Amino acid sequence: MLLHESRTLVADSRPRIDAPKRSGGDGVPDVFCSDEQNDIVIDVSRWRTLALQTLLAEGVRGACELSLYFIDEESIAELNAEHMGKVGPTDVLSFPLDGVEIAEAQGPGALSSGPARPHPDHDDVPTLLGDVLVCPVVAKAQASTHAGNLDDELALLVVHGVLHVLGYDHEIESDALVMREREREILKAHHWNGDVPSTFRQEHDE
């Protein structure tokens, strides 16, 4: 079973999800997507598009960038140990960047999490929104008992990771409910183009 949690390097504060969404002026945000693993075939263009659609759905516009990487088990395990203090691979890691403020967060099957980062100042325009790193091997291993299948699992991890970069968190149940509902809304609009499948889940068994 994977245990997911969040940790931040800045002072504790509840994320204000209802705050105005960040906007960097006219134009479309830039999403860089790269497949750095060879275990599972990844449609880079498709997942880049979903990441971009998630940003746009959250009101992100203008001169800002997000990076999405698909990496192997060994690499994500090393990052998980270095930044989260956890042993072994995880499904997704998010590294939001807002000026000098840096936060780190893990995936959507959270059983516990650390303090949330302060919500960014929406009057500022961050050049780099952050990085999202997904491990397809871990996604495949947990898909049948989580999102239902690999395709839906990868979609959930991409959306979940991007929302973490934008300030969503799941440390407490009220925040988790908001984040999960937003994930479902985005997936319905930009992944399934319809209702949530009956096999889809957002939480792991405790």
- What whole-number percentage of the chain has pLDDT above 70? 72
Does the structure show a pLDDT above 80 at 187?
Answer: yes
In this structure, are residues 12 and 48 in contact, taking their beta carbons and an 8 Å threshold?
no
In this structure, are residues 191 and 138 in contact, taking their beta carbons and an 8 Å threshold?
no
Q: What is the pLDDT of residues 65-83, one digit of tens each?
A: 999 999 999 999 999 999 9
Question: Residue length, the chain?
Answer: 206
Q: What does the chain look like in DSSP terms, one character per residue?
A: -----EEESS------TTSPPP-BSSS--EEEEEE--SSS---HHHHHHHHHHHHHHTT--BS-EEEEEE--HHHHHHHIIIII---S--SEEEEEEETTEEEEE--SS-S---PPPPPP-TTS--SEEEEEEE-HHHHHHHGGGTTSSHHHHHHHHHHHHHHHHTT---SSHHHHHHHHHHHHHHHIIIIISSSPPTT--SS---
Q: Give the model's confidence band at 27: pLDDT under 50 very low, under 70 low, under 90 confident, else very high.
A: confident
Across residues 134-162, what is the average pLDDT?
Answer: 97
Token representation of residue 118? 């302060």
Comparing CA positions, the residue from 3, 5, 15 lying closest to residue 116 is: 15
Out of 48-52, 115-119, 193-197, pick the least confident. 115-119
Does the structure show a pLDDT above 70 at 91?
Answer: yes
Instruction: Name which residue leads in pLDDT, 167 or 118.
Output: 167
Q: Give the angle 45-51-131 at the CA atoms, nearest 5°.
A: 105
The answer for residues whose C-beta is within 8 angstroms of residue 76's C-beta and 6 or more apart is 89, 90, 93, 133, 135, 138
Which CATH number is 6-12+27-111+122-192 given?
A: 3.40.390.30
Across residues 12-20, what is the average pLDDT?
Answer: 37
Instruction: Name which residue leads in pLDDT, 172 or 6.
Output: 172
Q: Which amino acid is residue 66, in one-letter code?
A: L
Domain limits, the chain: 6-12+27-111+122-192
Across-strand partners of 66?
A: 31, 130
Does the structure show a pLDDT above 70 at 109?
Answer: no
